[in-house]
Structure 1
């Protein structure tokens, strides 16, 4: 050991001197920067809706939607507290709007999704078109489009927000702007985007300006019917059951360029095969009850879920989905980005 002392001292002196030039030796951190397998800091987590809802409603007593701009409780990954992240790449939160309220119109470079968890009668407006919300509806707010929310109905409405905030932060491309009016003018009939693009057809001469789907609202009644049609025709996938991806009907790709969105049906007593993928995934339970069994560094972990619960599965974590009753799950991840960059890897395990 004593023969190494001069070398250790020389290296320490060398590191000290290059540090003054804002340099660091790669060989000291190579295995951390380029690990043999993903080593995500994210942890599996569950947010039970019945526990969260009272706090959402209390928030509605303490601050108005107008004051808050967006009255949201952020679903923070327990291993990433303080970062407003549910995974390293994505943000998630539960938003409440009460009868008579308006969440003012603004726009930002971050893309957003809304998935309605509870209540009817509220609306989201995107670039002049409104969609009246119902549970299970999937709604897109494309990057840099003005959007506002209002609730002319008689009951509270709660939805899941999913945004690509961390991805946009990574690119230092954050911009936002308030609309000059609190509620943007309605210039299109409700359902216009679905009528124009939702039947495997598009207007002659249509040229998409962005890779985001021109359909901004996917009603649950249609998505669920598609799931049942799939189930009648095909056997369930060993790991996923019956799973569909929301797509851009013009390109055939993901409905959102940075966030992949999915709806799946697990038949009663489904016992899924173990699966893992590099895209950490956030789930919202639409219907049914079940559990996900995860193999984590700390050992086997079981998350039991029920209607309107939310949970996250970290990147490259082996897991198996099980359903006690017929179960419908909505989920989202950064899969389109990983696929575009050639990073996506997944496998079903024995």
Structure 2
């Protein structure tokens, strides 16, 4: 008499043994990287890829601005040294991230409201939206900025924020905090001191060590660099030019508006470190992107994640086949790997995005790639 077990019974015993093995692995904080069946439950490739991912999303300034006003009434500087609204991507919530490596936050400061200095390892910029009295002091350079001006607050540089001039002002911030957090390298310091008469003294305001126009006076002429100055201020961890004025960017865009540009991006002008020609930070960089009246870009896909704020104009983007409408001062998240087209629906007004990208990190790690499609729909490798 045969003692062989039926195939069905052997399969059942194997499945039970596998389940026991999987249960023990998970209980001991391990992951089985193999696939033993066609079932979803045991498709480890799908499980491995099924981590939280950012999704395309638009945050509407028409919804943000009233919330900023309410927060300003309810939260004073006596309550908190910060009053910003961080944009959280629905695919990553509750993580404070607008895409996987960056977040955008909006800040409204009441008239003549100055916060104490602090510093941190994440790198950040402030980009003016409304009001002419936005204020950021960076390592002794006191910067007053308005709409379109971009101010750096580099990794480990002392800085403080606020407003001057008796009127409220709104700016947006972009930080690489989610990336730095992922690398377990976040630190903050709020104990600002200066040396006075040979003693360390706590201060709530930084003493000015540079003229207010230092960034523009020293670095404002492309291709020219004064030799007698130290260009590693702030530790040399970023561009030494800490404010980029909008009038210069606008003049550059105006000078290029009749060029063909890139059919997948329109006219793009990067902000750069004037001493190297590279990105302003080692981790993330920023740019202005112009779509001429009626312009529609061809489909493009890149590994880098993007945050786009329409500074001028309105329109829509097609991201992985879905339409996303945006207006002035909104923020649009374009996660890495998405196909995207941008459309300026106006036949007379340009669209100008303020953009942020994590491409510098990806390029440093040799991970950055970019593809596009031509008008016939053919796939092209662009970078």
Give the alignment's Cα RMSD to 1 decimal: 2.0
Larger Rg: 2
Residues 291 and 304, structure 1, Cα contact 8 Å, conserved in 2: yes
**How many residues were matched structurally?**
343
Residues 272 and 321, structure 1, Cα contact 8 Å, conserved in 2: yes
Which of 25, 28, 31 is equivalent to 2:45? 31
* Partner secondary structure for residue 339 of structure 1: helix
- Residues 1:50 and 1:15: Cα distance change in structure 2 (over 3 Å): closer
TM-score using structure 1 length: 0.92
What's the CA shift for 1:211? 4.3
Distance 1:243 1:127 in 2: 30
What's the CA shift for 1:236? 2.4
- Residues 1:158 and 1:211: Cα distance change in structure 2 (over 3 Å): same
Structure 2: runs of 5+ lacking an equivalent: 1-7, 36-42, 193-201, 378-383
* Partner secondary structure for residue 117 of structure 2: strand
What's the CA shift for 1:117? 1.3
Residues 40 and 314, structure 1, Cα contact 8 Å, conserved in 2: no
Name the residue aligned to 1:3.
10
What's the CA shift for 1:33? 7.2
Residues 279 and 285, structure 2, Cα contact 8 Å, conserved in 1: yes
Name the residue aligned to 1:290.
315
Residues 66 and 104, structure 1, Cα contact 8 Å, conserved in 2: no
Residues 122 and 157, structure 1, Cα contact 8 Å, conserved in 2: yes
- Residues 1:187 and 1:44: Cα distance change in structure 2 (over 3 Å): same
- Residues 1:52 and 1:23: Cα distance change in structure 2 (over 3 Å): closer
Which of 86, 99, 108 is equivalent to 1:96? 108
- Residues 1:347 and 1:19: Cα distance change in structure 2 (over 3 Å): closer
Name the residue aligned to 1:84.
96
Given the alignment of the two structures, is residue 192 of structure 1 paired with residue 214 of structure 2, yes or no? yes
Distance 1:30 1:141 in 2: 42
Given the alignment of the two structures, is residue 201 of structure 1 paired with residue 224 of structure 2, yes or no? yes
Name the residue aligned to 2:380.
none
Which of 252, 263, 271 is equivalent to 1:226? 252
What's the CA shift for 1:203? 3.2
Given the alignment of the two structures, is residue 326 of structure 1 paired with residue 353 of structure 2, yes or no? no
Given the alignment of the two structures, is residue 266 of structure 1 paired with residue 322 of structure 2, yes or no? no
Structure 1: runs of 5+ lacking an equivalent: none
- Residues 1:24 and 1:294: Cα distance change in structure 2 (over 3 Å): closer
TM-score using structure 2 length: 0.84
Name the residue aligned to 1:345.
369
Which of 267, 270, 275 is equivalent to 1:242? 267
